[in-house]
Amino acid sequence: MKLFRYLSLAIFLFSAILPLTSFSQSNYPNRPIRLIIPFTPGGVTDTSGRYIAEQLSLKLGQQVIADNKPGASGNIGSNMVATAEPDGYTLLLGYAGTLSINPSLFEKVPFDSVKDFSPIGKIGDAILILVANNDFQGKSLADVIAISKKDPNGLSYGTSGAGGTPHIAGELLKQKTGANLVHIPYKGGGQALLDLLGGNIPLVYTAVAGASQYVAAGRIKAIAVSSAKRSPSMPDVPTFIESGVRDFVIDDWVGLLAPAKTPKPIITKLNEALNEILNSPEGKAKLLSMGIFASVGTPEKFSEQIKGDLIRFAPIVKGVQIKAE
């Protein structure tokens, strides 16, 4: 008899809790959401994240607050989201370098890029470009490769830092072509470009958004972009594939993620709101002005890209023994 009473009480409590859970999800969001940006303010990742936060606020009817939590190449802010309550009120601005490269770059990463997050959707791809200073003799990628092979000391190229996507792209170019390239890490893409403008380094691998103004002004030379298609802002600049390097596509993607086990209805609602932003002419144009191709898609598609990039980048990082600074 007592067992029957206990079972009846358990069923009653479960029945009472279930509608509350369903209501909380259908009523989502009913308070402000925090979007963790795991980098310092000012870069392309930060500006794109702030724009998405602003637009999500309008779509969801609740403020989405952009909160910069930099450190350890994005690991600190990313781990804050990985360990947060999976209720949809703490989100991550995910970045290719942090989620797909850092696990191979650092001896220990405090999160699992696949198990600890629920992908919401990719925002888009930031196109990367190889540029040269005006004193550099070459004009094409074939020239870069040929000149590098003739120099026993190698040809230097600068990037925003060791282990970032531009660095990985440079190392992949070496592997695919046998180019004799020497990596020079800077503390940011802006510093690398300043040295390029000053003629202190022959090549820099960076985001199109940072280099486009200098290319347009004729202050540096564009060699090639590593996207699948040419950049709309630089239609005369060929891709690496067009320049003769097969299967060479590397972009710096950004996207939205939540902690693992975030309820599916919340993920779906966030994905739909994000896709509305990315599908709008205004959203596409705004992101393109930052050098980012908007990418409409599903959480599943974004998840597959993260998994695929983890596999793709691991042998490159380990093969050249890249270490985090």
Do residues 109 and 56 share a domain?
Answer: yes
Q: State residue 126 phi and psi, 5-degree precision.
A: -90, 120
pLDDT at 148 exceeding the cut of 50: yes
Which one has a higher pLDDT value, 58 or 250?
Answer: 58
Question: CB of 192 within 8 A of CB of 202?
Answer: no
Is 188 domain-assigned?
A: yes
pTM of the full predicted structure? 0.80
For 278-298, what is each residue's pLDDT tens digit?
999 999 999 988 888 899 999
Residues 197 and 49 grouped into a single domain:
no
Q: Read off φ and ψ for residue 153, nearest 5 degrees.
A: -85, -5
pLDDT (0 to 100) of residue 313: 87
* pLDDT higher than 70, residue 64: yes
pLDDT of residue 223: 97
Handedness of CA 128, 122, 75, 60 (dihedral sign): positive
Q: How many domains does the chain have?
A: 2
176: containing domain: 128-225
Based on the fold, state whether residues 291 and 215 are members of the same structural domain: no
Residue 244 lies in a domain: no
Q: What is the CATH number of the domain that holds 282?
A: 3.40.190.150
Do 68 and 89 belong to one domain? yes
Cα–Cα distance for residue pair 169/175, rounded to 1 Å: 10
Q: Which of 18-22, 102-106, 117-121 has the lowest mean pLDDT?
A: 18-22
Q: Is the pLDDT of residue 322 over 80?
A: no
Structural domain contains residue 293: yes
Whether 20 shows a pLDDT value over 50: the answer reads: no
Q: Token pair 């403008």 is at which residue?
A: 197
Same-domain pairing of 88 and 147: no
Least confident of 51-60, 129-138, 180-189, 221-230: 180-189
Which of 166, 190, 225 is where one domain is finished? 225
Q: Which long-range CB contacts under 8 A does 55-61 form with residues at least 24 apart?
A: 55/277, 55/283, 56/270, 56/273, 56/274, 56/277, 59/273, 59/276, 59/277, 60/29, 60/33, 60/269, 60/273, 61/29
